[in-house]
Structure 1
């Protein structure tokens, strides 16, 4: 389960809970592979000032991997979407956490969008329309978005608490 049970009210049951699709980690992994490979290549070149260049090369590599590798991973790991029998809740952040709840009684429509890459990878954007001033909340990169949308629609319009099998 992607949500911490301490965020649930007494008697509240999770219908589904997930993180964003793992595709969010493709770029951080590519950055890691390219920078470490490039740094390794540069470190192997002969040079009279090798200790100085070695420190600079690997210092920049570590900094780049923290900014474009570790931080996106921590953001992915710390972000969850959860539907319970009472509400839709999102939590995100590592050092500073934030959350957003929409009671199911306020949700008026649930839909999804999928681009070509999303169709290949089996994810998409879940769009929830509610009666608030915001009017619409988009949850990007939801895995198995069709199943999640059907489970949420079934819960909203038929009161079923059946899990979507994920």
Structure 2
């Protein structure tokens, strides 16, 4: 614990993305497209040419593999010692944050598929702002415990720092 009134540095506790199981179908599409291109390249019926096959395969990979991956990779959640930050966007960035000091309630929701993978959705609500939804995050119980601990520690520190501090402590008797 830092000394009363001393500034505390903001440290990153965790950074995570949504669960990667969302990319399962992207991987299946990529494998299927690679297999189809390998089979049909050079064996196409008469009116079609190889460049048409490669262009169609490239378009399918772009739309069904690359864009979903970029969307998944561009959405991150960061938990620091002071706040929770949600950042999203591939080209433009959108950011939201929620301070631990103000306090918030944590609601956990887990569906059947999420329970199989250890994932879940947390909703953080402070009663004033729009609730922050951490959807489909891995190790949801661990993240829930960390957030609850950070709220408690930050509120204890804020309460301690708000108390009147008279000055240096009296010397100890010798």
| TM-score over 0.5 for the pair | yes
Is the 1:106–1:131 Cα contact (8 Å) retained in structure 2? no
RMSD: 2.1
| Corresponding residue to 1:64 among 38, 60, 63 | 60
Task: Please tell me whether residue 139 in structure 1 is matched to residue 139 in structure 2.
Answer: no
Distance (whole Å) between structure 1 residues aligned to residue 60 and residue 93 of structure 2: 24
Is the 2:78–2:86 Cα contact (8 Å) retained in structure 1? yes
Distance (whole Å) between structure 1 residues aligned to residue 42 and residue 134 of structure 2: 45
Displacement over 3 Å in runs of 4+: 46-49
Is the 1:106–1:132 Cα contact (8 Å) retained in structure 2? no
Q: What displacement does 1:39 show?
A: 2.8
Q: What displacement does 1:99 show?
A: 0.9
Q: What displacement does 1:56 show?
A: 1.1
- Residue deviations 1:35-66 (CA, integer Å, cap 9, x gap): 222233232535445xx431111111111111
Give the secondary structure class of the aligned counterpart of 1:106: coil
Structure 2 residues without counterparts, runs of 5 or longer? 1-7, 156-174
Q: How many residues align?
A: 148
| Structure ranking higher on relative contact order (CA contacts 8 Å, 6+ apart) | 1
TM-score, normalization by structure 1: 0.79
